[in-house]
Amino acid sequence: MAKTHVEHMIQDPEGRTQSVLVHLGESPLAWLHARGLLSERHYLAGDMLRRDWERAGLGARVTMRWDAAPRSGNGGQGQGDPTMAQLSARARFDGAMQAAGPGLADILWRVACAGEGLVAAEKALGWPSRAGKLVLTLALDRVAGWYRVS
């Protein structure tokens, strides 16, 4: 039976170490939304961005692609070529990230696509504690407008 939860030791903003139980299937956006820290509109926009990122094949691969080798007689167009769906997803992702803008896209990608928690993203970016939620919300608002999420 697969594990659905794992215990993590985290440090809260005051520096105290705490034990938390993390649901492995819950994204940081879903976690924020479930606790009322993100609106439905922001959650949907972030989820659309994540899906486009995944469909475009922009995430790291952990296995070898055996179908990527070109086959003879097809003019060099092997199955490893991006599909129209991948190209469309990449265009939507790029457009959404441009809509977020510089300075906002970093935390947006880290939380929505890479699955980093807000505190970890703040630390990685060298931001003060609790700055990430405000910046993430601004980025998600712009992305929601770009995706036309009402």
pLDDT at 77: 46
Q: What is the pLDDT of residue 101?
A: 94
| Residue 19 β-bridge partners | 9
Category of 99 on φ-ψ map: left (φ > 0), alpha (ψ -120 to 50) or beta? alpha
AA identity, residue 128: P
Q: What pLDDT is recorded for position 26? A: 76
Distances (CA, A) of 24 to 21, 30, 60, 96, 124: 9, 12, 19, 27, 21
- In three-state form (DSSP H/G/I as H, E/B as E, the rest C), the secondary structure along 84-123 is HHHHHHHHHHHHHHHHHCCCCHHHHHHHHHCCCCHHHHHH
Question: How big is the chain, counted in residues?
Answer: 150
* Calpha distance 1→29 (Å, rounded): 26
Alpha carbon distance, N-terminus to C-terminus of the chain: 40
pLDDT of residue 54: 87
H helix or E strand, kind and range, residue 17: strand 17-23
Q: How far, in Å, CA of 131 to CA of 11, rounded?
A: 16
Which pLDDT belongs to residue 73?
47
pLDDT of residue 67: 53
Global confidence as pTM: 0.71
The tens-digit pLDDT sequence of the chain (150 residues) is 555 665 656 555 566 676 666 565 678 999 999 889 999 999 999 999 999 998 888 765 555 555 555 554 444 444 456 788 889 999 999 999 999 999 999 999 999 998 899 999 999 999 998 899 999 999 999 999 999 999
For position 72, what pLDDT does the model report?
Answer: 47
